Structure 1
Amino acid sequence: MGKGYYISKHMATAAMVLAAIALVTIIALSVVYNREKSRNAAKFTNSTTSPVPPTPKTSNEPWDKYRLPDTLTPQYYNVTLWPRLVMNANGTYIFTGNSGVMFTCVKTTDLILIHSNKLNLTLFKGHHAKLTGVSGVTAPAIKTTWFQTETQYLVIQLEGKLKPGKSYWLYTELRGELADDLKGFYRSEYMEDGEKKIIAISQMQATYARKAFPCFDEPGMKAVFHITLIHDLGTTALSNSQEIKTENVQIDGTAVTRTIFEPTKRMSTYLVAFLVSDFTYISAADDKGVLVRIWARRKAIEDGQGDYALRITQPILEFFEKYYNTSYPLSKSDQIALPDFESGAMENWGLVTYRETALLYDPKTSANGNKQRIATVVSHELAHMWFGNLVTVKWWNDLWLNEGFASYVEYLGADHAEPTWNIKDQIILYDLQRAFSVDSLTSSHPLSRKEEEVNTPSEISEMFSTISYSKGAAVLKMLSEFLTEPVFAKGLSNYLNQFAFGSSVYSDLWDHLQKAVDQTPGLKLPYSVHEIMNRWILQMGFPVVTIDTRTGNVSQKHFLLEKDAVVDRKSEFNYEWFVPIKWMKRDQVQDQLWLLQKSAIHKPMKVSKSEWVLANLHVSGYFRVNYDLGNWERLLSQLESNHQVIPVVNRAQILDDAFNLARASIINITLALRTTKYLTHEREYIPWEAALRNLNYFFQLFGRSEVYGALQAYLKKQVKPLFEHFGTISSNWTTVPSGHTDQFTQIIALSLACSTGVEGCRELTKSWFKRWMQNHHVNVIHPNLRSTVYCDAIAAGGAEEWNFGWQMFQKATVAAEAVKLRSALACTKVPWLLNRYLQYTMNPEKIRKQDAASTIGYINSNIIGQPLAWDFFRANYFYFFKVYGTGSFTFSRLIGDITSRFSTPFELSQLKQFKKDNAEIGFGSGTQALQQAIEKTTAKIKWLAENKEPVLQWFTSESE
């Protein structure tokens, strides 16, 4: 699955756009939203009665456990579904159909458990299913059936026993709601040419296949799927495999189309996908006959918005075929852009689904960052066609293996498609440093958790986290670095070939990588792949490696953001790691060394006072680095005199490590601040982005204090040369640079210059926006700069500017443009506009459900909007929990956004009270995010007490 959040190229912040002003206290309107998602079950059943489940004698009954017993294994499914794209007399959209599954009995049992969630099944003589034997086998009669709501099972008790080695057929008839909840089999609505269109689409990961049809809904329970879709005349049906027959038929007096698809490959339920729409497509076929199609709304395809995705799909597929040394397993690759989709994208085998912003690119209105996002997301999802789909983890506790791997190799695939972008370095910003921020908390967790820790749907959803995606990517990158990429790829290929169409655990991958190591002459590791890597995936966190260049001593310690924090989670490795360290001495690269214990003397790292040491060269390892003060001083001197001697990604590393070491009270905060002084000479994107992310932390902490003014003045001085540089090379901002990342740096220059008051900046943005308001048919603002310009102009304006932005948002036909406007609308300084905007997030006619959480996050990033967003979220918590509480990233990200500015004892007490007040409702997939918010706020309070005064003094002295 796609990460759900991606590169925010235009700055660390809407907060930077807003000057510090007195906060306005507004009590958010209490809005009670009490819609029952499943509606009245009587609408969807042929019987008004249902067997009452027996009261469990103990909590140890099989149906009270979340994991399926090991008694049955599915072989294949026959699923026929008929979605109705017109509302019925009850005001509801429904789907009907039937489903059958052939399963084999592994162990003698008189009980069938099969997942079924929020689905109403037809009753057959008082039972929800029919059971027959296969190949002459006699099936026992069904004794009783019922739904076990908590564990989401259809429970079938039998009169007799199922026999090991024998196969049986379980048949059900379906009638359920085609809801708009973005889960299972759901509907999406959009407007085109003034007409409302309805499509039916699926999203099964992680536990939503059971909403569409009864199934053994665990990733290791693979089977073959025979899919048939019945749909309205004039619509098109798609599924995982190629259609083999399409015919127009009469069913119950209604003329419809029936599309039958080829049997799928053996695959997991969470990868099943189907779609009914009037979308159209563009296509191409590769040399091997694999059909590639890009599907979207007709107008989007006609406008050429799918062309870029089509152009890069084939090269990326070809790259992964070579990288994995395994042919693409299917005959076609459909990719479809959806108006409503909760995640960024989903890797359904053969039918990959995306948000429109992750697949559609319009050269006239999409920014360079939008293009990069499409390349990386497409690469991520196509990587899954092998790693995740062909070979799947047995259980969700190892989700990191799927998502971490795809998050790593997405950079390799995108680099192959766009070799001039040098995109591989950006993993440092968008995965490694992102993972560090979460993994430095005591509330973090290991990459691979124990199976018993991951049971409920909410616990499974929590696994779709920054740890699984970004730490997984960073750790696998480190593994690839010390094995070398060819050895890493060889081990992967052997692993994929052995477990093709099956499932595995992480140790299976270690086995094959170790075999590749053993077969490579000259490659020596200090320990086995198992012994090295288990320390990185079976315990949470990461080390800070400290190098004393006076003695050559190298040591490690578990890095925690709060210096006095206590880690409750025990580790068999006592939070020690086997650390591969690549390093350089002045401008000379040295031999890699391994730190294999708490501390060791490495004599080459003892250097003279004229030399400096830089460790974690090219940021190849997943650890932070600290030095003795003398070495820090020499590195700072090198940055000031000639920063280009130090590799670009290591300049970003120095900034990020220093700030976080200071936040953890390991080094002095003024030392960290001094790493930013050289930025007046820096023109590269990655160091600037790393710096702004850390300085954004200061905006959050000091946005309401006297430190803010001095901070603004200092940053104005630092960014002015960058602003003038881009003014010169862009002919006074009339063009954009040709370099890919230079375009991102230009955005930083404009955004930061305007927010800090650099002369001439706001005059530019206001004039551009005013010209657009005067003639809204002609937008002269370059797509790269629109997010910054829109935000700055709306922040400087009032209701007129906001209303114009809202009108343009409603008219936007390109998703990327709509996102820019939706974000910018949150920049206004007018409290009542922000409060009204918050209300819009509960109205899907104004803000789509998929966009509500991020919109609240945008408002929260505005210093005036933050208290409004917090009050609004608390007042409507039940609604947001019901709609998003079991989502993958959405709910946890929302909680993280809402609490990101908290830094006072009062805010901490509010946070704890919020946790207490809503304990009965629960926090679902946001449980861990809430604990992290409490931990982060506690750490900020302690840090501020010690560092506010020296920070104020430093910024004051440096801004003069």
Structure 2
Amino acid sequence: MSKPFERLPTHSKPVNYNLTLTPNLNDFTFKGEQVITVQVIEPTKTLVLNSAEIEIQSAKFNDASAEISFNTEEETVKFSFPSELPVGEGKLSMSFTGILNDRMKGFYRSKYTDSDGNEIRCAVTQFEPTDARRSLPCWDEPELKATFDVTLVVDKNLTAVSNMLEVSRTEVADGLVAVKFDRTPIMSTYLLAYVVGKFDYVEGRDADFIKMRVFTPIGKKDQGLFALEVAKKTLPFYRKFFNVAYPLPKLDLIAIPDFAAGAMENWGLVTYRETALLVDADNSSAATKEWVALVVGHELAHQWFGNLVTMKWWTDLWLNEGFASWIEYLCVDHCYPEFDIWTRFVQSDLSRALELDALENSHPIQVEVGNPSEIDEIFDAISYSKGASVIRMLHEWLGQDAFREGLTRYLKQNKFANASTENLWEALADASGQPVQFVMEGWTKQMGYPVISVASKPAEGDDSKLELTITQEKFQLGGANKSDLLWRVPIQVLTATGHKHQLMLAEKSDSFTVPKAAWVKLNPGCIGVYRVDYSASMLQDLIAALKHGQLSQRDRFNLENDLFALAAAGRVPIVQVLQLADAYKAEQFYTVWSDLLSNLGSVQVLADHLGLLDKWRAFLRQLCEPAYQRLGWDARPADGHDATLLRSVLIGCLGRAGHESVLAEAKAKFAKHCSGECPITPDLRACVYSTVLANGGVEEFEAVLKLLEKTDMQEEKVRILRCLGRARAPELRQRVLELAVSDKVRLQDTVFVIGGACHSLEARRAAWQFVKSRWSWFVEKFAGQFLLSRLVQLLCNDFCTAEDADDVDAFFKANPAPSAERNIKQALENTRLNVAILARDGDSVKEFLAQFAA
């Protein structure tokens, strides 16, 4: 276990940081001068700050020089003075130097190559959660807010940006200029940001005349236009929704060449991966536009929820991330209704949350943090996706008017300060008159969620009604349920006649009546954070409704998604769900198909272990064929956003499954694309690349590598890199793994290139052996970063034997990885669940697949 750490002493706190930094992009160093206005709360001879990887040359408090000592393990520096510091404000002055590291955290180096082949170097920041201390000595905790005056001394030809507007630019010696920025509002250190390098930008103003810029690598400024459009729509939407003005005079969004996360909400200077911000009118896919809109919407929501009002401690990280992960969809739905984005939410967020939270090694939304390494672990689907799903359920229960009023109260009461989950519940309760904390604390403080079992029978004495008996218990994927946890569950019930009924299930079991109808469905629209287990007769009624087209898109999704989970938990046979898949042949919507095929992928893992991949591919071909025939390869004038996404997922599935006509067409299009005769539309490139790689050899692999070398568009690079691992020949897979750790792949993409090479049991084991053999390299590059936990997830989640589990367990016992500790436990649990599923359902899966000709 990682060692707990102590919070900083509270006898002093910062008021203002006056910081001057001089980065040297030639030797990747920086030097700093800093004066911190300190509020001394009680007499003391010492000041303790956070500092890591910084050498401090001198420090004084007012006129008294300090003795400096470091605690490397705790990442602190202690300044000891000869006499007590008086209570009140004083000035702590210091000079220091540091290294621009290459680990994508703190103040670090980045670079890109421009269209002329020149290497452009940059210095950029990523401080969340605890890495501001790698750039300046500071009180690096979210509750210890201060204002910041930043000056960057840089080459006069470079762009320099920070949280606030530039207020002056003064020439100094040796071709350098001192760029001074306006004082920030009071804020947490993790939101401080500065970037130095060469960038282009596009500029505009929103409806409230806030200045907006989107910065891009040189030569790519047109790719920033879509994000600028999104931002111009989004910021006024949030201002109106929250009824609180955006408090800064400007908003910059900047694409960073090397960036570990998707984006970071630094106040007034939001940083992004290129793939999360840039859209090329000719070469970006519809999925990329959707993704950019969501990420911009997410980060701009943080300007209020996280930046204006900040959690007191990382235990309440979900207040930032869960809320932003919910409202990004509300915003995009308002700005781009054609995306049908709420249907995407049920797959991208609700489903992910339910999958992870069914494990014994999950965690509550509100989770105690015992060490900095544990903070990285909670940047996961529980904090983000379950948090968002719980907020969505709460919004539906309270109604939008009361919910908005509560948010406005919360923001106004806590602006420029810190708050807790309980503060949010109180504001929402005051606005709605509902017992919000009483209902919601079970959802945030308890791990897991309920499965609702429901059965129906004619109501006694009234033939026109049905009596429903509903029971809740904690849903668990493995073993018998020994939990006595209960939730207060807002439950909606929909009948075939269109009537909706709402109740609150607060006990283990309850009964109520509804008008008699051909079918009854719980959780219409997938609003509730729970699974539903129907009695056999109710399930058959719903399957009949599904086949007759009587269920909405989200309800069709909900039905198959819950059934796959119930099968994984051993509550229904897997073969029953495989048989149900046949009813989805008429399905016409992307999200339902995407989720169905994803869930079938978990069964493919079992088929692979049983040596039945050829028969499994035959099963997939007959399943997807009707929908593919309806859509075909070529876009039609009537196609909308959804049809564009669906075409890609169907062709990709059929191509990898060896569908003859799909494979022939993919090869033909690929040849014309490589020759330049007829480029493949961006929406189909990934599925064509993966098809030709999965069914080809060295020639196709080399052709795809040439495409990788030719493009300077990061979206296309990532698209190719994630497909390369589809090559089935062992020697080609090995080349992909070697490529992933070479300087030809950005460090931010390494993990996902390796993940792309884990498409079969044989490939997964090869990738795992490769990573083990290079483990010291991965630790050096990713230690203390969430990318290490992602690597564990992608590599180890889908093994199927006790031997594999024992191997993973033994390796990490010998090679501890504190920042991935929970993910290792989850991977082991998933492997052992797969072992149990194989023992339980393996023979029936064999029998089911026997009917399909390989």
Note whether the superposition's TM-score is higher than 0.5: yes
Equivalent residue for 1:932?
826
Matches within 5 A, 1:324-473: 324-450=242-368, 454-473=369-388
Report the alpha carbon displacement of residue 370 of structure 1 after superposing the two structures with TM: 0.6
Does the 8 Å CA contact 2:45/2:84 hold for their aligned counterparts? yes
Report the alpha carbon displacement of residue 668 of structure 1 after superposing the two structures with TM: 2.5
Q: Structure 2 residue aligned with 1:488, among 382, 396, 403? A: 403
Equivalent residue for 2:203?
283
Q: Structure 1 residue aligned with 2:788, among 891, 908, 915? A: 891
Q: Which amino acid aligns with 2:777?
A: Y
In the alignment, structure 1 residue 476 sits paired with structure 2 residue 415: no
Q: Structure 2 residue aligned with 1:187, among 109, 131, 149? A: 109
Equivalent residue for 1:77?
17
Report the alpha carbon displacement of residue 736 of structure 1 after superposing the two structures with TM: 7.7
Relative distance call for 1:79 and 1:716 in structure 2 (3 A) is same
Q: Which amino acid aligns with 1:819?
A: V
Equivalent residue for 1:905?
802
In the alignment, structure 1 residue 745 sits paired with structure 2 residue 680: no
In the alignment, structure 1 residue 597 sits paired with structure 2 residue 530: no
Equivalent residue for 2:463?
none
Does the 8 Å CA contact 1:280/1:298 hold for their aligned counterparts? yes
Equivalent residue for 1:23?
none
Equivalent residue for 2:125?
202
Equivalent residue for 1:114?
49
Distance in 2 between the 1:546 and 1:579 partners?
A: 13
Give per-residue Cα distances to partners, 1:617-673, cap 9 Å, x unaligned: 111110010111111111112212x12x11111111110100111111112223322
Matches within 5 A, 1:215-226: 215-226=138-149
Matches within 5 A, 1:765-914: 765-773=666-674, 775=675, 777-843=676-742, 845-888=743-786, 890-914=787-811
Report the alpha carbon displacement of residue 756 of structure 1 after superposing the two structures with TM: 2.8
Equivalent residue for 2:586?
681
Does the 8 Å CA contact 1:98/1:173 hold for their aligned counterparts? yes
Does the 8 Å CA contact 1:899/1:933 hold for their aligned counterparts? yes
SS of residue in 1 equivalent to 2:725: helix
Report the alpha carbon displacement of residue 162 of structure 1 after superposing the two structures with TM: 3.1
Does the 8 Å CA contact 1:111/1:155 hold for their aligned counterparts? yes
Relative distance call for 1:734 and 1:579 in structure 2 (3 A) is closer
Distance in 2 between the 1:951 and 1:797 partners?
A: 29
Relative distance call for 1:98 and 1:455 in structure 2 (3 A) is farther
Report the alpha carbon displacement of residue 786 of structure 1 after superposing the two structures with TM: 0.3
Distance in 2 between the 1:73 and 1:328 partners?
A: 27
Distance in 2 between the 1:795 and 1:863 partners?
A: 15
Matches within 5 A, 1:530-545: 530-545=437-452
SS of residue in 2 equivalent to 1:561: coil
Which structure would you say has the larger RCO, counting Cα contacts within 8 Å and 6 or more residues apart? 1
Equivalent residue for 1:321?
239
Report the alpha carbon displacement of residue 577 of structure 1 after superposing the two structures with TM: 0.1
The ranges of structure 1 where at least 4 consecutive aligned residues each deviate by more than 6 angstroms after the TM superposition are none
Does the 8 Å CA contact 1:726/1:749 hold for their aligned counterparts? no
How many residues are treated as equivalent by the alignment? 843
Equivalent residue for 1:950?
844
Relative distance call for 1:885 and 1:702 in structure 2 (3 A) is farther
SS of residue in 1 equivalent to 2:255: strand
Does the 8 Å CA contact 1:291/1:332 hold for their aligned counterparts? yes
Distance in 2 between the 1:169 and 1:848 partners?
A: 42
Relative distance call for 1:944 and 1:862 in structure 2 (3 A) is closer
Q: Which amino acid aligns with 1:460?
A: I
Equivalent residue for 1:690?
595
Unaligned ranges ≥5, structure 1: 1-58, 88-92, 133-138, 519-524, 568-573
Does the 8 Å CA contact 2:145/2:186 hold for their aligned counterparts? yes
Does the 8 Å CA contact 2:573/2:841 hold for their aligned counterparts? no
Relative distance call for 1:779 and 1:334 in structure 2 (3 A) is farther
Equivalent residue for 1:299?
219
Report the alpha carbon displacement of residue 119 of structure 1 after superposing the two structures with TM: 0.8
Distance in 2 between the 1:953 and 1:448 partners?
A: 45
Does the 8 Å CA contact 2:609/2:800 hold for their aligned counterparts? no
Q: Structure 2 residue aligned with 1:238, among 161, 182, 202? A: 161
Q: Which amino acid aligns with 2:733?
A: L
Distance in 2 between the 1:833 and 1:423 partners?
A: 38
Relative distance call for 1:744 and 1:881 in structure 2 (3 A) is same
Report the alpha carbon displacement of residue 877 of structure 1 after superposing the two structures with TM: 1.5
Relative distance call for 1:347 and 1:824 in structure 2 (3 A) is same
Does the 8 Å CA contact 1:827/1:862 hold for their aligned counterparts? no
Does the 8 Å CA contact 1:584/1:615 hold for their aligned counterparts? yes
Q: Which amino acid aligns with 2:533?
A: N
Report the alpha carbon displacement of residue 709 of structure 1 after superposing the two structures with TM: 3.3
Relative distance call for 1:832 and 1:326 in structure 2 (3 A) is same
Does the 8 Å CA contact 1:549/1:627 hold for their aligned counterparts? no
Distance in 2 between the 1:758 and 1:860 partners?
A: 21
Q: Which amino acid aligns with 2:83?
A: G
Give per-residue Cα distances to partners, 1:898-918, cap 9 Å, x unaligned: 013201111111112112221
Task: Identify which range, 577-586 or 703-712, moves more after superposition.
Answer: 703-712
Give per-residue Cα distances to partners, 1:213-246, cap 9 Å, x unaligned: 0000001111000000010121111000000001
Report the alpha carbon displacement of residue 141 of structure 1 after superposing the two structures with TM: 5.9
Report the alpha carbon displacement of residue 755 of structure 1 after superposing the two structures with TM: 2.6
Equivalent residue for 2:630?
725
Does the 8 Å CA contact 1:717/1:959 hold for their aligned counterparts? no
Q: Structure 2 residue aligned with 1:504, among 413, 419, 426? A: 419
Relative distance call for 1:552 and 1:699 in structure 2 (3 A) is same
Report the alpha carbon displacement of residue 956 of structure 1 after superposing the two structures with TM: 3.2
Equivalent residue for 1:98?
33
Equivalent residue for 2:529?
622
Distance in 2 between the 1:699 and 1:351 partners?
A: 44
Equivalent residue for 1:14?
none
Equivalent residue for 1:651?
556
Report the alpha carbon displacement of residue 140 of structure 1 after superposing the two structures with TM: 6.3
Q: Which amino acid aligns with 2:793?
A: G
Q: Structure 1 residue aligned with 2:185, among 245, 254, 265? A: 265
Does the 8 Å CA contact 1:707/1:951 hold for their aligned counterparts? no
Distance in 2 between the 1:163 and 1:660 partners?
A: 62
Distance in 2 between the 1:172 and 1:955 partners?
A: 71
Give per-residue Cα distances to partners, 1:441-477, cap 9 Å, x unaligned: 1111111123xxx132201111211110011000010
Q: Which amino acid aligns with 2:817?
A: F
SS of residue in 1 equivalent to 2:337: coil
SS of residue in 1 equivalent to 2:223: coil
Does the 8 Å CA contact 1:713/1:959 hold for their aligned counterparts? yes
Distance in 2 between the 1:83 and 1:767 partners?
A: 51
Give per-residue Cα distances to partners, 1:786-834, cap 9 Å, x unaligned: 0010111122222222122122212212111111111121111121222
Report the alpha carbon displacement of residue 837 of structure 1 after superposing the two structures with TM: 2.1
Distance in 1 between the 2:637 and 2:711 partners?
A: 23
Distance in 1 between the 2:117 and 2:170 partners?
A: 30
Give per-residue Cα distances to partners, 1:147-187, cap 9 Å, x unaligned: 101110001233333344x1121112121111221111111
Distance in 2 between the 1:547 and 1:671 partners?
A: 19
SS of residue in 1 equivalent to 2:318: helix
Q: Structure 1 residue aligned with 2:614, among 709, 714, 717? A: 709
Unaligned ranges ≥5, structure 2: 458-466
Equivalent residue for 1:588?
498
Identity rate, percent: 33
Q: Which amino acid aligns with 1:76?
A: N
Equivalent residue for 1:170?
92
SS of residue in 1 equivalent to 2:175: strand
Q: Structure 2 residue aligned with 1:915, among 812, 832, 835? A: 812
Report the alpha carbon displacement of residue 925 of structure 1 after superposing the two structures with TM: 1.8
Relative distance call for 1:945 and 1:802 in structure 2 (3 A) is same
Distance in 2 between the 1:654 and 1:957 partners?
A: 25
Distance in 1 between the 2:553 and 2:542 partners?
A: 14
Task: Identify which range, 335-344 or 414-423, moves more after superposition.
Answer: 414-423
